[in-house]
């Protein structure tokens, strides 16, 4: 899927994405900012910022003297993020519709922290583009990447794929983002991958998260995440059949929890001096 296509999927997902944020995305965003150790006055870039789950706590951590540039392709998500930041009284968070593959810091000023929460696997060339993001840091700055841990989302993903396959009548195609995410879903793999991006002092923190799951929440999660892309081109009646099939399969398989465990990797840009 192209970057424009990914942006369109998440734009359509904006309302449901915001609905599930308090139980899912916000908790992961807070854990990421804690791992990033953002200090007052620092400059932060939040890539694939969504509805502000990590950008808003980053803006709080860096304070009025700090600065957060938060970029995303989906205008609907950015609208939610701006509204949330306004309600929090955060004037130092700037939400911008922009492509991470071409973003440059305003006025050429490097960042102290670049963070990306569950977004790197949607980039067209994850390795090259994250290496590029690392170069937007000052020497000694920190890159923070959050990804799914091995096994997280997999059980739910299999059930949802089975529901889609049941309605389409053909096997559901696994998203390319899942293949990319599987390359960095263990502590050793994420450590090695960040080190290969030229970072030093790499650490990886496991952030467990299990969410009680029922069919209504499961469906909101589908519509408010990248899973929504698997419903593309289905008519409304077919989408409804996927929804009811998903609920039935969750009940049959006694799946009552969503494993949303994440890995948070941090590394420092090498100072050539």
Could you give the residue ranges of the DSSP H alpha helices within 13-125? Answer: 14-20, 25-36, 55-62, 75-87
Q: Where are the domains positioned within the chain?
A: 3-153+176-218+259-269
| Per-residue pLDDT, 10 | 61
Q: Rounded to an integer, what distance in angstroms lies between the CA atom of residue 100 and that of residue 264?
A: 19
| Per-residue pLDDT, 142 | 98
Mean of per-residue pLDDT scores for the chain? 91
- Pair of tokens at residue 265: 């990797």
pLDDT digits (tens, 9 = 90+) for 20-78: 899 999 999 999 999 999 999 999 999 999 999 999 999 999 999 999 999 999 898 99
Number of other residues whose CB lies within 10 A of the CB of residue 106: 11
CATH classification code of 3-153+176-218+259-269: 3.40.50.150
| Per-residue pLDDT, 18 | 82
pLDDT digits (tens, 9 = 90+) for 83-103: 999 999 999 999 999 999 999
pTM of the full structure: 0.91
């Amino acid at each position: 899927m192209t970057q424009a296509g990914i942006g369109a999927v998440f734009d359509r997902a904006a309302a449901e994405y915001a609905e599930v944020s308090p139980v899912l995305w916000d908790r992961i965003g807070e854990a990421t900012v804690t791992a990033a150790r953002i200090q007052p006055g620092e400059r932060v870039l939040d890539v694939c910022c969504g509805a502000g789950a990590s950008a808003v706590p980053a803006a709080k951590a860096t304070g009025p003297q700090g600065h957060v540039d938060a970029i995303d392709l989906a205008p609907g998500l950015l609208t939610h993020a701006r509204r949330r930041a306004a309600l929090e009284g955060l004037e130092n968070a700037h939400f911008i519709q922009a492509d991470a593959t071409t973003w440059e810091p305003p006025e050429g000023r490097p960042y102290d922290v670049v963070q990306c929460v569950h977004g790197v696997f949607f980039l067209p060339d994850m390795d090259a583009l994250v290496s590029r993001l690392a170069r937007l840091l000052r020497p000694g700055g920190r890159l923070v990447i959050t990804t799914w841990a091995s096994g997280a989302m997999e059980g739910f993903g299999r059930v949802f794929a089975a529901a889609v396959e049941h309605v389409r009548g053909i096997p559901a195609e696994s998203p390319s983002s899942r293949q990319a995410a599987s390359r960095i879903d263990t502590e050793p793999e994420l450590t090695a991958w960040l080190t290969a991006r030229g970072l030093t002092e790499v650490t990886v923190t496991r952030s467990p998260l299990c969410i009680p799951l029922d069919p209504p929440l499961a469906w909101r999660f589908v519509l408010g995440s990248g899973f929504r892309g698997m419903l593309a081109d289905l008519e409304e009646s077919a989408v409804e059949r996927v929804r009811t099939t998903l609920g039935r399969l969750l009940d049959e398989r006694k799946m009552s929890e969503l494993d949303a465990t994440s890995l948070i990797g941090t590394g420092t840009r090498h100072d050539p001096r």
